[in-house]
Structure 1
Amino acid sequence: MIPLFVNFRSVVAGGFVLLAHVAGARAEDLPIVGTGDGIEMLQAVAAAYNAEAGDARVSVPPSIGSGGAVAAVGGERQKLGRVARPLSEAEKAQGLVEVPLARIPSAIFVHRGVGVRSLTSAQVAAIFAGTIDNWSALGGPDLKIRVVRREESDSTLSVLRATMPGWRDLALTSRSKTATTTQDAIATVRETPGAIGFGPYSPALAGDLEVLAIDGRAPRDPAYPSAVTLALIYKAATRDAAASAFLAFATSDRAGQVMAERGAAPLRP
């Protein structure tokens, strides 16, 4: 009888191990890596998904840029990525597929102490060119303007160059700080008196910064000229059931509602 008892205990123990393995598999993390544009919005979409369905727990980690997403998903190290620029033909040829999610306005924001709430597009261009360098020239305090810019490959800067009057061939002032991510740009402007920067619009920006109206139009105005499209990317070779389930949710009406509540205009595939 003793061997039977031992075998029974082994079976029970093995069952617990199997259950633990299954539970661990259900709790597997599915990170969506990439751009910092729309990160709070996509985190909210992931939270809604995790609360409602899905075997995997979706996460939206800090930015590694659109290029980082392309490298990670294209190199088959990650299943899903997030980008704020169109894929190139070469990237599509590697098997990458994009799924547009939402149009996110590009915002110009300043430090709270600046005291300016609206500028013309010509004034904004002059600030980033360095020809206006003190807020007193724009109705603000006698305070030096601190320009915070992004690298030329940044998606928001690309959209500003394509859509904002005066930006297409604008030479950005050399007397500026280059932020490496959206979060870095926001933090730098928030912490630097006199600072001005740009990035994807989110209602959360208004808590720490002053988001400017440009030519009398706020970022959520349908006629506001500048916006970026946030998309998810994947490769068919690595798209599994968990990735497919989140892609279906991210393009659903429920996800669209979450995105709209955060200032974006949802798109449908």
Structure 2
Amino acid sequence: MRQFTFTLVCSSALAWASVASAADDIRLGGTGGALGTMRLLADAYEKFDRGAKLSVLPSLGSGGGIKALLAGAIEIAVSSRALQDAERSQGAMALEYARTPFVFATAAATKVTGINITDLAGIYSGKIRNWPDGTRIWLVMRPERDSDSALIRNISAEVRAALAKARERPGLFFAVTDQECAMVLEKHPGSFGPSTLGQILAEKRKLKALRINDVEPSARALAAGRYPYYKSLFIVTTSKTPQAARRFIAFVQSKAGQDILGQTGHVVPPFGPTAHAPR
């Protein structure tokens, strides 16, 4: 059923992209967490190059975006994971254009500002089910093969074991996309789940990114190596990527593009000392 659903979603997205191509020169899609910032970059680029037209598709996921790129349905894919060997063998090429703090977020009204790693393991394992003020913790999970789950597993052996235990707990909500996760987190007081600073800022989400071990999850802390948890973001192309798309990628790497990335919680190359990316 999971494979059927994935195929159906990708097929629908490819069909949507084919229709959109009649009016748009550059079609971009992929991981949901990058789309808010990409829309801001696209808007700025269209003002810079009046002849350019960009269409940012709804979330396809990293794998779905790369699949659409290789099928010729879009010109640029964005991914939150490195390329797989099979994707490289089909001609995909990746450029890491930014990193953003990987965070644990809650609804803005929740009366908590931070956790430590022991708390994190306790929340996932079910040992901790309420915030200090008594509010129930409304835990939002992500699919096992999602990049967010890979990042969580990589935090520590204790957290890895707790996440595995959480998957056996009945009644937990699983968000399929980054946007669905953010919407559910906003909706429920006491919520708890993964996100990125980049998505929260670019989409203007009513979410609070929690401090971890008393370190604020800011782009500055990430760049300095004080905050060790981050998500890498990649632009994926092929040798067939048209010049119009390559000009937009050059804009993303320009000072104007990097200013937008900086304003939305991203660190741009060259990257400083950081620690926890997916393995």
When normalised by structure 1's length, the TM-score is 0.82
Verify the 8 A CA contact 1:251 1:268 in the aligned structure 2. no
Equivalent in the alignment of 2:151: 159
Partner of 2:82: 86
Size of the aligned set, in residue pairs, is 240
Q: 1:254 to 1:164 in 2, by over 3 A?
A: farther
- With over 3 angstroms needed to count, the CA separation of the structure-2 counterparts of 1:92 and 1:54, relative to structure 1, is farther
Question: What is the 5 A alignment of 1:16-165?
Answer: 28-53=24-49, 55-135=51-131, 139-140=132-133, 142-163=134-155
- Unaligned 5+ runs, structure 2: 1-20, 272-279
Question: Is 1:171–2:164 an aligned residue pair?
Answer: yes
Partner SS for 1:242: helix
1: CA distance, partners of 2:156 / 2:255: 31
Alignment partner of 1:236 out of 231, 236, 239: 239
- Whether the 8 Å CA contact 1:103–1:265 is kept in 2: the answer is yes
The answer to whether 1:216 aligns with 2:219 is no
What is the one-letter code of the residue matched to 2:238? K
Residues 251 and 54 (structure 1 numbering): CA distance in 2 closer, same or farther, change over 3 Å? farther
Q: Which deviates further from its counterpart, 174-183 or 160-169?
A: 160-169
Query: Quick check: 1:69–1:82 contact (8 Å CA) kept in 2?
Result: yes
Query: Residues of 2 paired with 1:100 and 1:122: CA distance?
Result: 31
The separation in 2 between residues aligned to 1:255 and 1:37, in whole angstroms, is 17
- Return the index of the structure with the highest Cα Rg: 1
Q: Given the superposition, is the C-alpha separation of residues 252 and 26 from structure 1 closer, same or farther in structure 2, using an over 3 Å criterion?
A: farther
**Structure 1 contact 55–242 (Cα < 8 Å) conserved:** no
Kept after mapping to 2: 8 A contact 1:164/1:226? no
The change in CA–CA distance for 1:165 and 1:253 in structure 2 (over 3 A counts) is farther
Q: C-alpha displacement at 1:119, in angstroms?
A: 0.8
How far apart, in 1, do the equivalents of 2:127 and 2:180 lie?
25
Tell which deviates more after alignment, 26-35 or 184-193: 26-35
RMSD between aligned residues: 2.3
- Tell me the secondary structure at the aligned position of residue 28 of structure 1: coil
2 CA distance for matches of 1:207 and 1:188?
Answer: 11
Kept in 2: contact 1:163–1:225 (CA 8 A): no
Could you list the structure 1 runs, at least 4 aligned residues long, displaced by more than 3 angstroms after superposition.
163-166
- Are the structure 2 counterparts of residues 132 and 91 from structure 1 closer, same or farther at C-alpha, using a change threshold of 3 Å? same
Counterpart secondary structure, 1:106: strand
Provide the C-alpha distance between the structure 2 equivalents of 1:27 and 1:257, rounded to a whole number of angstroms. Answer: 29
**CA 82–207 in structure 1, closer or farther in 2 if over 3 Å, else same:** closer
Instruction: Name the amino acid aligned to 1:171.
Output: A
> 1:30, 1:78 → 2: CA distance?
7
Describe the SS at the equivalent of 1:187. helix
* Deviations, residues 34-55 of structure 1 (Å, cap 9, x unaligned): 0012322222111111110163
What secondary structure is seen at the aligned counterpart in 2 of 1:193? coil
Per-residue CA deviations over 1:160-192 (Å, capped at 9, x if unaligned) read 222457333431522421001111011101112
Deviations 1:124-174 (A, max 9, x none): 121022221122xxx22x222111011112222212222457333431522
Equivalent residue letter for 2:125: A
CA shift, 1:81, in A, is 0.6
User: Amino acid of the residue matched to residue 33 of structure 2?
Assistant: D
